[in-house]
Structure 1
């Protein structure tokens, strides 16, 4: 069975599942930084881009669905221009991460968003995260140059 077929089947799972906040935070906030060390932000960003290349999505609605199914949270487009898009992520899992002083907890998601936009628009894209402590949300800005096309 092809890898993409496996993902398509797994994305079609409709039964509700729960995720342990403790388990999620144990891996994301303790184990990964312990293993990856000071390179954690860069590696997580790269890993997010790699995941997006493994599971390319046709449009932003599919990206929203992917985030929901991955238990990464709910995405909402706040603003879009011809050179950038502002996206807001909200989730119960975000609360503790936004309030902490960690600067790289959303690099996986940022890399994933950057690569999906790059694949969908056909231009090189880069994402930046902006945790908003007062609202317990994270804002991402994905920017691209329409002249910098991917080959």
Structure 2
């Protein structure tokens, strides 16, 4: 990747930016699905994992900050057990996506969460998405196996 296109996540800025819901959804919900077809969820999941490997985060605060900075929404930890966690994601972008379609793809975020938790917990992880239509949010369950460790 050339330096001119690389996002520098270490840059601290007080600059406020807005993201057009139409522009974001045009790319994510129409163009990507047109290009990727029926394999969209799987490709987005693995794409999320790839992004997480490019931007490894060391703790939950960094993870929450990344979601905010990427305009994916506000991420919160709801529960944490010995081998699983539940996250909640809320965003105005989610409201339109959850209400507009019978099929939802939050697999980019799911893959990103799986890889980050895998990195932090040092065990193979997988994430499952659970859109909650009534409350316009997405719940993610991340499960990992302490016995299936990574280096």
Q: Does 1:90 align with 2:90?
A: yes
> Which stretches of structure 1, 4 residues or longer, exceed 3 Å deviation after superposition?
none
1:2-151 matches, within 5 Å, as 7-10=8-11, 12-99=12-99, 100-104=101-105, 106-151=106-151
> How does the TM-score come out when normalised to structure 1?
0.92
1:7–1:55 contact (8 Å) kept in structure 2 = no
Q: Deviations over 1:3-57 (max 9, x none)?
A: 7x952334x2331100000000000110000000111000000000000000001
Q: Over the residues paired in the alignment, what is the CA RMSD in angstroms? A: 1.6
**CA positional deviation for 1:102:** 1.9
Q: Taking structure 1 as reference, are residues 147 and 8 closer, same or farther at Cα in structure 2, changes over 3 Å only? A: same
2:97–2:104 contact (8 Å) kept in structure 1 = no
Structure 1 residues not aligned, in runs of 5+: none
SS at match of 1:58: coil
Whole-angstrom distance in 2 between the partners of 1:54 and 1:69: 15
Whole-angstrom distance in 2 between the partners of 1:43 and 1:92: 24
SS at match of 2:10: helix
